[in-house]
Amino acid sequence: MDTPKEIFLKDYKLPDYYFDTVDLNFSLGEEKTIVASKITVYPRVEGSSFPLVLDGEDLKLLSITVDGKELKEGDYCLDSRHLTLPLPPSGTFTLEIVNEIYPQKNTSLEGLYMSSMCFCTQCEAQGFRKITFYQDRPDIMAKYTCRIEADKSSYPVLLSNGNLKEKGHLEGDRHYALWEDPFKKPCYLFALVAGPLESRDDIFVTRSARKVSLRIWTPAQDVPKTAHAMYSLKEAMKWDEDVFGLEYDLDLFNIVAVPDFNMGAMENKSLNIFNSGCVLASPETATDGDYAAILGVIGHEYFHNWTGNRVTCRDWFQLSLKEGLTVFRDQEFSSDMGSRTVKRIADVSSLRNYQFPEDGGPMAHPVRPHSYIKMDNFYTGKILSSLALNVPVYEKGAEVVRMYKTLLGSQGFRKGMDLYFKRHDGQAVTCEDFFAAMRDANNADFANFLIWYSQAGTPVVKVTSSYNAEAHTYSLKFSQEVPPTPGQPVKEPMFIPVAVGLLDSSGKDMPLSSVYHDGKLQSVEISNHPVYTTVVQVTKKEEEFVFADIFEQPTPSLLRGYSAPIRLESNLSDSDLFFLLAHDSDEFNRWEAGQELARKLMLSMVADFQQGKPLALNPNFVHGLKCILSDASLDKEFIAKAITLPSESEIMDMMEVADPDAVHSVRKFIRKELASQLKAEFLNMVLANRSSEEYVFNHPNMARRALKNVALAYLASLEDPETTELAVHEYKTATNMTEQFAALAALAQHPGKSRDDVLADFYSKWQHDYLVVNKWFALQASSDIPSNVENVRNLMKHPAFDLRNPNKVYCVIGAFCYSPVNFHAKDGSGYKFLGEMVVQLDKLNPQVASGLVSSFSRWRRYDENRQNLAKAQLEMIMSTNGLSENVFEIASKSLA
Ligand code: ARG
Ligand code: ZN
């Protein structure tokens, strides 16, 4: 392998040539597919003469014609990555290229490939160059037509972007369809699908009374499982009109679900292609979690139509321009459709579990990276059960967008969005353009806010407070520090919006009147309306805010709603935290207070465990949770979240040297102790929250199931005959997958006959449904039972396993890495397994392989023995012949 080339943001140059129209013609075949393209090319600067360089990979060139004249060998240069025309004509010209590709042999699932019986495409980020020669970069925007020709009986449905213009029969049992997309687009949004599909059809009437045909395409037998996806799509279309005034812009919107897909889904213009795991659901086969994920992903891809497609990225460094913004939009959509607090808790947990560790490791990079080797790596972060995301670009990017809203308010944010579309519709732009629209629409002073895009690492903010009883003032002193990350040893202070409320001794919010900052008194009140939460803007390394007119010592509720993606360290005592847990009007912070208590408790118990001291659970903690459990005023799903302990990875991330065995033992001990001390409460929760009616996807029903399932899992951890029998009973009588799977999972944590029986029963019940079988795989693979690596190797021999299907790889190999005790097994067996798998998978599908290799990236966080074992695997991977750029980038950066 040539040493892969690193691409830098600072090297961005405008293209020398633009494309105006692109007419594609596909002749799909069983041996090979012929692609013919006809492109109108024009120079950026009239009269300039530059070579025209086209990207192309794994293509067989058949012919090139310029203005109707076929080029001969010598007139162009061709290497394994580029086709160069050294001397194109000056002015506008027509370029025609014919090439051959082999979708049946494409296991990378990038470009044109086969999934079950269908041809389908995935072009983002740089897959279009595997279809035909092109300037494969998002700032080349053109109008496309696409003609598809294929065997009629094998491929009855032929789809591409835009509107269907024409279709008809051809000789030899073939047929064709001609599609035209009226909107200019970059090639990464191109899509084609051909195969034996059927659709669920519906209609959405837009707010300006246009009728849009909606079609969700799947193999015939799956059409009944698309009802929830259709519901989600219509809700998303309505929500975008209501909240952002954004209407759909074509008469047709297609979604296709395919079983083989590297990621969750793709927002191709009017032809979204989805991993079927993010589309198909029925109450019997999908959990509440799946239903919620489908709602979110359908929303996400639909919202891209404006944030991504109508306004796109200038270059791939700007990925967060569309992804951060669109994740923010799908989070808001899900919040509005369910519980805002619960959604926020889920999103913050995921930041802590994935973003914080990555931001503190060798792969740390800013929301807008400065360089990349393989862009795909900036999409694939941690992967579980068919969903993949890159936490810095996607989730931290969404937090950055959320901060604009926190600073500007809903109306100010909307003004910024309106201006962004007004200025940039039809353009390929940058994160600064978004920033400028937000700023200009509000005449806002954003100080050093842009640093959020360029500086990696999670800021650590320390707060100390003091009350002055004579002056009736309350002071909050902030200091911030951003830890060094690769390539960024020295950091600048960041602009951190901290939402603050103050609780009086009865637990009620105090009205906030004014704040001194830099010696200046600022009013907080808005036209005599009491204000209970205010956002202070921390922009310096050290800064003090003093609240006036505070007549008793308050308990501060800091960073309400998690107003910035930081680590907050406060001087709150345990009793302050118990007080907040019991009283804070900000529900998110109530949860957070409980989590902070749990984190402190777990860390101190881990230290005890390491010193061989006996473990004992603080009775105040048990009491605090008991109060939450019996508080009838609380939302049930909130209670379920509040009684769930921080994950093992979250605790390991807070340790000097991560100790998976100690963290696992402590978490297990606390769970069992809570289960035995609160057994009566948990039993009551299971009995009181059983389903009485048919499955409905709405918040109250999901909340009830969530609470019941958490209680059942606690009870099953006791491993006594009574609770085991209860779990078996819940498993057998469940009428929906949410409860059935929860009971199965509760039982599956403990080796023994009950476990073996229910696992066998579940498989025989669901073996015909590959998505349910994937759950069965993931549950076993992620299990903490001792020496699970052998079971996982056996699962890979199961007839339902297939190394070429990404979902199955994520559910077996990926899920295995989610069990810290097994993945980080002292004997290195987990590392060795993953090392072997990465090498094997890299030959089939580099994107999937590099997603897995990132499980190694934090190897330096462990003890010396584990470090050596993990490092040996990374070195073994690096020494493999023919390593992909994807895996090379992650493995080499991990070792650096
Ligand atoms: N843009 C897509 C989304 O956010 C993800 C693209 C997948 N990219 C990839 N390299 N496989 O929904
Ligand atoms: Zn996206």
Question: DSSP letters of 481-497?
Answer: E---BTTB-S-----EE
Amino acid in the structure at residue 238: K
> Could you tell me which residues are beta bridge partners of residue 210?
none
778 lines ligand 1 (CB under 6 A): no
323 lines ligand 1 (CB under 6 A): yes
Establish whether this prediction's ipTM goes over 0.90: yes
Contact present, 784 and 623 (Cβ < 8 Å): no
pLDDT at 391: 55
93-101 and 60-66 beta bridge pairing: antiparallel
Q: Which pair of structure tokens corresponds to residue 333?
A: 């959509």
Contact present, 208 and 268 (Cβ < 8 Å): no
266 lines ligand 1 (CB under 6 A): yes
125 lines ligand 1 (CB under 6 A): yes
Q: Ligand 1: distance of its center to the CA of 260 in Å?
A: 14
Measured between its terminal Cα atoms, the distance across the chain in Å is 19
Would you mind telling me the total number of residues written for the chain in this entry?
896
Task: Report the residue among 263, 322, 374, 395 best suited for mutation to probe ligand 1: largest number of ligand atoms under 8 A from its CB.
Answer: 263
> Could you tell me which residues are beta bridge partners of residue 24?
37, 146
CA-wise closest residue to 424 among 433, 435, 436:
433
Q: Ligand 2: distance of its center to the CA of 51 in Å?
A: 34
Note the ligand closest to the C-alpha atom of 374.
Answer: 1
Alpha helices by DSSP H, listed for 377-519, are: 397-424, 431-442, 451-454
Residue with the nearest Cα to atom 10 of ligand 1?
376
CA-wise closest residue to 144 among 272, 35, 61, 25:
25
The dihedral built from the CA positions of residue 301, 307, 309 and 315, taken in this order, carries a sign that is negative
CA dist., res. 860 & res. 894, Å (int):
9
- Work out the angle at residue 691's Cα, subtended by the Cα atoms of residues 689 and 694, and round it to the nearest 5 degrees: 150
Task: List, as one string, the DSSP characters of 142-209.
Answer: EEEEEEEEEETTT--EEEESSEEEEEEEETTTEEEEEEEEEEEE-GGG--EEEES-EEEEEEEE-TT-
Contact present, 628 and 681 (Cβ < 8 Å): no
pLDDT at 388: 37
CA-wise closest residue to 844 among 106, 122, 32, 128:
106
Contact present, 257 and 279 (Cβ < 8 Å): yes
Residues with catalytic function: 301
CA dist., res. 406 & res. 194, Å (int):
45
347 lines ligand 1 (CB under 6 A): no
Collect residues with CB below 5 Å from ion ligand 2: 323, 326
- pTM of whole model > 0.80? yes
Extract the residue ranges of the chain whose pLDDT is less than 70: 1, 380-392
CA dist., res. 716 & res. 722, Å (int):
9
What percent of the chain is helix, strand and coil (3-state, nearest 5)? Answer: 45, 25, 35
Q: How far is CA 379 from the centre of its chain?
A: 8
Residue for token digits 């296991």?
107
Sequence-separated (6 or more) residues with CB below 8 Å from residue 763: 773, 776
Q: Report in angstroms the alpha-carbon separations of 819 from 700, 855, 868.
A: 31, 11, 20
379 lines ligand 1 (CB under 6 A): yes
Q: What are phi and psi of 636, to 5 degrees?
A: -65, -35
- Work out the angle at residue 643's Cα, subtended by the Cα atoms of residues 638 and 645, and round it to the nearest 5 degrees: 120
Nearest-atom number in ligand 1 for the CA of 323 is 4
Residue with the nearest Cα to atom 8 of ligand 1?
124
The DSSP 8-state label assigned to residue 355 in this structure reads I
Rg (CA), the chain: 28
CA dist., res. 567 & res. 438, Å (int):
26
Q: Ligand 2: distance of its center to the CA of 18 in Å?
A: 26
Q: Which pair of structure tokens corresponds to residue 580?
A: 């907040």
pLDDT at 525: 79
Helix (H, G, I), strand (E, B), or coil: what is residue 438?
helix
Contact present, 313 and 428 (Cβ < 8 Å): yes
